[in-house]
Structure 1
Amino acid sequence: MLHLRLIVPDDRTDEVLRLLETTVGVTHLVVLSGAARDPRGDVVMCDVAREAADGLLAGLRAMELDRTGSIALENIDLSLSRRADRAADDAPGEGADAVLWESLSDATHEESTLSATYLAFLTVATMIAACGVVLDNAVLIVGAMAVGPEFGPLAGICTALVQRAPRLAWRSLQALLVGFAVAMAVTVGFSLFMDAVGLFHVEALEAARPNTNFIYRPDWFSFVVAVLAGTAGVLSLTSAKSGALVGVAISVTTVPAAANAAVALGYQEYGQAWHSMEQLLLNLAGIVLAGTLTLTAQKLLWARQGTGLRAP
């Protein structure tokens, strides 16, 4: 269940209440007349089944309540109520399958912003992966994968394509391209510094590297894994099972490929750098393709569940 808190202009309260009372899956309705001070209005609260929330939010936004008042939605960790159980049973579909598009758009907007924190995480992850490349250390490679924040912009691109949101698409693409460009440039300088102090050696890059040579050897398995990871990543976002994102992060060779390319460029090993970039682009394409198809399938599936309105 989700908890919905609204601030409603007093002249729109009846209209909002009609929508809430006719929406299947809504329960525990509370109205506090004149309780809101900024903005002024009535406070309306209720609990809503997850599978009914997206249609309800769309209706509230159609009333422009996000402009004239306020809409806040949060998860309920525990709800001991027969009414809540009945509301969840009455709502069409299953809560685990429901996609809250407003929540997804908001989350991907935040995660796909080109911020200093995003750049720092991506750069540090790429430098960790560079150490793993030179040392042929799979543990460092996995650690770098887990630290990298690149799935946020990738999910943003998928969401933007399905929702036809060009601004989100541009913001996500900018974060992805600028982020990797900055991270790789810094990692090139980092590699040259490590070489100057005797910690990196070109011989290590040219060695067989049985634990990490897959990074610059893209094949169909790279694409297949990226597709599977993209599907799992989007499902974890839409179902609020964020723990699965860690598994997604360590399944794809994005940050390690960028790191290997950066180290190879520092040593002027252009062939290995090119193949690493191929690995990077192959993984990015697989994730975006799978994520977009997954969101499209979810949107079509959920469209068949009904309107979520109670029969008159």
Structure 2
Amino acid sequence: MDLVLEAAEEAGVDYTVSRDTDRGEFEALVSIPVPPPAVEGLLADFRAAGLDERSYTVVTAAETIVSERADALSTRVSGTRISREELRSRAVDLAPAVSTYFSLLVVSTAIATAGLLLDSAATIIGAMVVAPLMGPALSASVGVVVDDEQLATRGVVLQGVGLVVSIATAAVIGWALRGTILLPPGFDITTVPQIHERITPNLLALFLALGSGVAAVVSLTRNVGSVLVGVAIAVALVPPAATAGLGIAWGRPEVVLTAGTLVLVNMLSINFAALLLLWLSGYRPHRTADIERAYGRLRSRIVVLFVAIAILTAVLGGVTYGTYRTAAVEHDVRTELETMSEERLADGAALQFRELAVDYELVDVYTGAEPMVTVLVERPPGEQLPDDFATDVRERLESATGVDLEVVVELVETQRSG
């Protein structure tokens, strides 16, 4: 006890001492009211003074402290972050028991899968409220920076196994619903906007994941907005994982590849941002001898995460470019057909050019397959068109899009009332 009191005197903090009269295992209970930024430094002073590690150190939060001396201490101690010990404790609390974790994950994935199939953004967001993914993501990072290998391993395992469970849950639900009266005949999952959004990701998705990782660390170290941050992390992980599961159920490998890439890059980016920010915030193991080992583990994980993110980002970049190219071809075709209709009308020929379909998929951009464009041409009854009319249309569209096209022209005779 004398060591604690001497350290408290040197730190200039108030304290009270309650003598132990029960079991005799402890000499006394010392209570020291300090603001949160002062906790870590004071605990370090106690260790430096030789405080026995078998003793109990309990950090509790006070609702309000009414004292001029406390106000003066708060003025003297700056900062907003919590102590290393509180950080670890909160990370442990955020990672629920295994049974609770997987129960909530299965339920949230099931709801998110229904939201994807129903094209309901509100349902998807509602599912994210119960998704328990923030805890494992932070536990893994906190465990590394404070040199708690058990905590770090638990966080990594929960994330990895949770991802597999989420994909498997969506796959089972999709397989069970496919071909039932709950979905229309010939239902194509790629035509659902909420699913299409997850299978055509672009590089902007990386900012969502990195931002979620940064926000998670800020909410943990400053104890603000953890619920909303948990929703953001879940939005980055569960819907694309559920989309990958639906891709398995429908036998669509391209859906599994794109959605799987998105969920992996999001998960890795969240961990990368959390690891980096926690270390830059100054969190270290309390033993000086452990700092170098923790730094070595941090450095190796940062390198692995960075390389993996770079590779997956290249895939996302390819998806972004392919999506842009397909959209650009469709836009240029539509614009050129409108121009051709206006030109024909100006020349006195009442021909109307309308786009029926542009068959140009993401994979076609990289396989070199020619886009197939189906054009509907409305003409007045009896009007004759040249034999090379379809060739003229194709050449105009190729000039506008800059790519070789296969064009099918369908002619219909129309009459319009004056």
Check whether TM > 0.5: yes
**Aligned partner of residue 20 in structure 2, secondary structure:** strand
- Aligned-partner Cα distance in 2 for 1:145–1:124: 10
What's 2:274 paired with?
291
- 2:240 partner amino acid: A
- Aligned-partner Cα distance in 1 for 2:20–2:85: 27
Q: 2:7 aligns with which of 5, 19, 35?
A: 19
Q: Cα distance, 1:136 vs. partner?
A: 0.9
What's 1:7 paired with?
none
Distance 1:202 1:111, change over 3 A: farther
Deviations 1:151-177 (A, max 9, x none): 211112222333343322211111111
- 2:3 partner amino acid: E
Residues 54 and 101, structure 1, Cα contact 8 Å, conserved in 2: yes
What's 2:68 paired with?
82
- Aligned-partner Cα distance in 2 for 1:247–1:237: 10
Q: Cα distance, 1:231 vs. partner?
A: 0.7
Q: Cα distance, 1:264 vs. partner?
A: 1.6
Distance 1:58 1:195, change over 3 A: farther
Structure 2 unaligned regions, length at least 5: 284-418
Q: Cα distance, 1:213 vs. partner?
A: 2.4
- Aligned-partner Cα distance in 1 for 2:185–2:202: 25
Deviations 1:128-160 (A, max 9, x none): 110111111111111222221112111122223
Distance 1:276 1:167, change over 3 A: same
What's 1:278 paired with?
261
Residues 244 and 255, structure 2, Cα contact 8 Å, conserved in 1: yes
- 1:34 partner amino acid: D
Distance 1:138 1:19, change over 3 A: same
Residues 219 and 229, structure 2, Cα contact 8 Å, conserved in 1: no
Correspondence list, 1:1-312, <5 A: 13-24=1-12, 26-27=13-14, 29-35=15-21, 37=23, 39-60=25-46, 63=50, 65-67=52-54, 69-91=55-77, 93-94=78-79, 96=80, 98-112=81-95, 115-195=98-178, 197-200=180-183, 203-241=186-224, 243-247=225-229, 249-250=231-232, 252-299=235-282
Distance 1:199 1:100, change over 3 A: farther
- Aligned-partner Cα distance in 2 for 1:64–1:148: 41
Q: Cα distance, 1:50 vs. partner?
A: 1.0
Residues 205 and 264, structure 1, Cα contact 8 Å, conserved in 2: no
Residues 162 and 296, structure 1, Cα contact 8 Å, conserved in 2: yes
Deviations 1:74-115 (A, max 9, x none): 111111111110111122x22x2x232111112223433661
- 1:16 partner amino acid: V
- Aligned-partner Cα distance in 2 for 1:135–1:204: 12
Residues 33 and 42, structure 1, Cα contact 8 Å, conserved in 2: yes
Deviations 1:199-234 (A, max 9, x none): 346855534323442222222110011111211111
Rg (Cα) greater in structure? 2
Residues 209 and 266, structure 2, Cα contact 8 Å, conserved in 1: yes
**Aligned partner of residue 253 in structure 1, secondary structure:** helix
- 1:74 partner amino acid: T
* Identity over aligned pairs, percent: 26
RMSD: 2.5
- Aligned-partner Cα distance in 2 for 1:58–1:154: 27
**Aligned partner of residue 56 in structure 1, secondary structure:** helix
Q: Which fold has the larger relative contact order, with Cα–Cα distance below 8 Å and residues 6 or more apart in sequence?
A: 1
Distance 1:254 1:19, change over 3 A: same
**Aligned partner of residue 32 in structure 1, secondary structure:** strand
- Aligned-partner Cα distance in 1 for 2:214–2:248: 32
**Aligned partner of residue 43 in structure 1, secondary structure:** strand
- Aligned-partner Cα distance in 1 for 2:148–2:183: 44
- 2:101 partner amino acid: Y
Deviations 1:20-44 (A, max 9, x none): 22225x33x1101124547443111
Q: Which sits farther off after the overlay, 218-227 or 51-60? A: 51-60
Distance 1:209 1:194, change over 3 A: closer
